[in-house]
Amino acid sequence: MSRTRTAMLAALALVAGASGTALAAVPDEIGTAAVPCTVDYKVQNQWGTGFTAAVTVTNNGAAKSSWAVKWSYAGNQQITNGWNAKLSQSGTAVTAANESYNGTLGTGGSVSFGFNASYSGTNAIPATFTLDGVTCNVDDGGGGTDPDPDPQPGNRVDNPYSGAKVYVNPEWAAKAAAEPGGSRISNQPTGVWLDRIAAINGVNGGMGLRDHLDEALTQKGSGELVVQLVIYNLPGRDCAALASNGELGPTEIGRYKTEYIDPIAAILADPKYAGLRIVTTVEIDSLPNLVTNTGSRPTATPECDVMKANGNYVKGVGYALSELGDVPNVYNYVDAGHHGWIGWDDNFAPSAQLFKEAATAEGATVNDVHGFITNTANYSALKENNFTINDNVAGKSVRESKWVDWNRYVDELSFAQAFRNQLVSVGFNSSIGMLIDTSRNGWGGTARPTGPGATTSVDTYVDGGRYDRRLNTGNWCNQSGAGLGERPQAAPATGIDAYVWMKPPGESDGSSSAIPNDEGKGFDRMCDPTYTGNPRNNNNMSGALPNSPLSGHWFSAQFQQLMQNAYPPLP
């Protein structure tokens, strides 16, 4: 990075002439090739209480099929109407996203838009502009549009997990280490769950977001380090599962934005943390509910119908992606359910389309999405080696077995790789990567089959050979017989950025009986081992462990089981 060139560019961006123009254009001798984008913001006309502005954006990076420019005002400017862009404003933060007719922005191409706005006092020109999360008018240090082959701390990379350590949550590590045998895994990285507004500052004297980020800087040392955060507090959260209901009601999208997402984004944007690679898992178990648990489907719930009708899942996810995506060292991964949820033909493509809708809502663009995560807090086996979806036994396809039940996929790896291709086909960037949560999908121990099942029938063949020992893929709560899966690792398979333990092993999915609490968590019969099921699990028994505490609370018996049944086995 040339400090001289950077300083000159930064200075140019702040210069305002008599006409109120921010000089964002860069002289040729400075070298525009290393500037990823430029923004020319001009105040064309100004009067006592308002002004008209024109903005021209030039893209020097890879060609784009959609775009979003963002900036923040230092004063109280308020946009009233605009043209040639979809303009939205939240407080001082402004987003200008492409219209349907001007989304294409080639390398070296420019696009212009304008607006009217009101103001009082001074009308300072914004100091910083971003195009799809990349800061404009500043030398990127790469000497061109290609990525820096040896990125410095804080520079954006294709796979944040490559060449990096991953943050070990000391609070989880202490609980794990206190268990007999727990020291074998207490050094593994797990996700930090921000599951309510209070978690931002810390609950019951525990670590808040800044505490975790400060600790991450210590763990980072001179190398690279990933911090994994779970963004999980949508209005009307988990409309099909009572155990993980949240604190915000179905209509409280305003509180979600201003009391939850905005404070998180402000902390992550602190320059102190610019050298960390911050991975966010955005709102697990939310968007897929709008596909599978609404309308006339037997799995529908009134709560999910409400969330589909009011649009607050889509708006909330879009807003989170937009605001968090503004931070250059944040990598957003959107939750994509798991193969036993959206692997069926009538769920697969509609889910991808819904994710695209959310990723282009509330000022977000597909460029705010670095990838997707599957199997978060679930149990689906990573790879079933004893049968494939193409097998035929006793005259029937594996898809006709009771276990597969016409699903198109039998395990999480094949699903994640196929779903990635589907997401790209609907408009997500071809560079997106997938994460798979392997914290509880090992299914080892003495019950792990060593080969295919008997070929007497398609059911004996599948049931005798499958690693996943659940009664049904719809079972999700504290599953009996589960084990730790593959240890966290970077780039383990094609299209997969990492295997992760986003769900900390040992934290309960929900209580096995009703427990009064002030956390907004209800009692879900799917966590009751005596429950005989519902249409979402084909009316099977729940398969849940007994005597479980509230979701998120430590469950020693589950932790011991996970270690005992780990695959690969623990030493």
Q: Nearest Cα to 524, choosing from 535, 508, 539, 510?
A: 510
Beta bridge mates, 331: 279
Strand-strand pairing, 110-118 and 50-59: antiparallel
- Looking at residue 406, its amino acid is W
Is residue 411 part of the annotated active site? The answer reads: no
CA 341 → CA 70, 190, 246, 537, distances in Å? 35, 23, 21, 10
**Most distant CA atoms of the chain, gap in Å:** 86
Is residue 509 part of the annotated active site? The answer reads: yes
User: Per the residue annotation, which of 238, 335, 509, 528 is the catalytic one?
Assistant: 509
Q: Which two tokens stand for residue 265?
A: 């984004």
Q: Nearest Cα to 485, choosing from 509, 467, 464?
A: 467
Query: Which residue is listed with tokens 């209070």?
Result: 198
Q: What is the DSSP string of 522-541?
A: ---GGG-TT----GGGTT--
Helices 345-359 and 412-425 cross at an angle (nearest 10°) of: 50
Q: What is the DSSP string of 263-327?
A: HHHHHHT-GGGTTSEEEEEE-TTSHHHHHHSSTTSTT--HHHHHHHHH-HHHHHHHHHHHHHHTS
User: Per the residue annotation, which of 140, 195, 238, 285 is the catalytic one?
Assistant: 285
**Contact between residue 363 and residue 95 where contact means Cβ atoms under 8 Å apart:** yes
SS3 string, 328-388, reads CCEEEEEECCCHHHHCCHHHHHHHHHHHHHHHCCCCCCHHHCCEEEECCCCCCCCCCCCCC
SS3 string, 127-175, reads CCEEECCEECCCCCCCCCCCCCCCCCCCCCCCCCCCCCEECCCHHHHHH
Sheet holding 134-135, edge to edge: 86-90, 93-97, 68-72, 129-131, 134-135
Q: Which two tokens stand for residue 370?
A: 């670095």
CA 461 → CA 293, 337, 404, 458, 525, distances in Å? 31, 27, 12, 5, 31
Question: Which residues are part of the catalytic machinery?
Answer: 285, 509
